[in-house]
Structure 1
Amino acid sequence: MANAASGIAVHDDCKLKFLELKAKRTYRFIVFKIEDKQKQVTVEKLGEPTESYEDFAASLPADECRYAVYDYDFVTAENCQKSRIFFIAWSPDASRVRSKMIYAASKDRFKRELDGIQVELQATDPTEMDLDVFKSRAS
């Protein structure tokens, strides 16, 4: 069903892959893209569990908006292994204004489709979502 605010639908594959990341930890990250022609959010890239944060950061284009989900593993002060699922709204300054508006208008609806997101980040440049930001927001 299309989002009333932006007219953008969510492809079923987005929810399916997210459930696999959440339940089975099949992926480290997922990058989502809004396809202009089909007017829907689709899966652009799946990160293998062995891929690093650097692989994830490199998969976000410098001049185009994207949504992404990242499964961040960390160890608490009590030495417990934990993970948090981050939702990243990537909207670099160099991207087109129309693109930024469509991504902003569709974000909340898309995020609701992905049940289990624990932390949300809004980033316009790589420093706003580096590992230190993940560490501070995870705990």
Structure 2
Amino acid sequence: MANAASGMAVHDDCKLKFLELKAKRTYRFIVYKIEEKQKQVIVEKLGEPAQGYEDFTASLPADECRYAVYDFEFMTEGNVPKSRIFFIAWSPDTSKVRSKMIYASSKDRFKRELDGIQVELQATDPTEIGLDVIKSRAN
């Protein structure tokens, strides 16, 4: 199952929780972490449906890489409720080089496991995933 380039497997829970977010709206967001010792991607944190975007950004560590999925709900100009599922590759400048390399080399394979992602963002600091950025990319 592991990818030759990165050697990271994807824990079944990652896909199951994503499907719950996508189909049932069970979660607002999911933060994923690579467990280097186990050589796999695992679910680190689940955001409740009532939690907002600030709760999501606060759950990303300031100096460690993560993958995250956020279910962004918004109103169109015609007042139609819509949502977009964002995939965010969080790779802060302050994180370790090795960590950045592992996350970068595993990203595409991991993202392919999550069927239904509509928008992808790569971020190295909080301004790159500000709510204004999310809103502009959602349409």
* 1:40 and 2:20 are equivalent in the alignment: no
Q: Deviations over 1:59-114 (max 9, x none)?
A: 00000000000000000011100000000000000000000000000000000000
Task: Specify the code of the residue in structure 1 equivalent to 2:14.
Answer: C
* 1:87 and 2:80 are equivalent in the alignment: no
Task: Specify the code of the residue in structure 1 equivalent to 2:48.
Answer: E
* 1:133 and 2:133 are equivalent in the alignment: yes
Secondary structure, aligned partner of 1:98: helix
Structure 2: state its 5+ residue gaps: none
Question: What TM-score, normalized to structure 1?
Answer: 0.99
Aligned-residue Cα RMSD (Å) equals 0.4
**How many Å apart are 1:4 and its aligned residue?**
1.6
Map 1:97-116 onto structure 2 (within 5 A): 97-116=97-116
Distance 2:12 2:3 in 1: 14
Q: Deviations over 1:29-84 (max 9, x none)?
A: 00000001100000000000001111100000000000000000000011100000
Distance 1:138 1:59 in 2: 21
Percent identical across equivalent pairs? 84
Number of the residue aligned with 1:71: 71
Number of the residue aligned with 2:23: 23
**How many Å apart are 1:3 and its aligned residue?**
1.3
Aligned length: 139
Distance 2:92 2:56 in 1: 15
Distance 2:49 2:11 in 1: 23
Structure 1: state its 5+ residue gaps: none
Question: What TM-score, normalized to structure 2?
Answer: 0.99
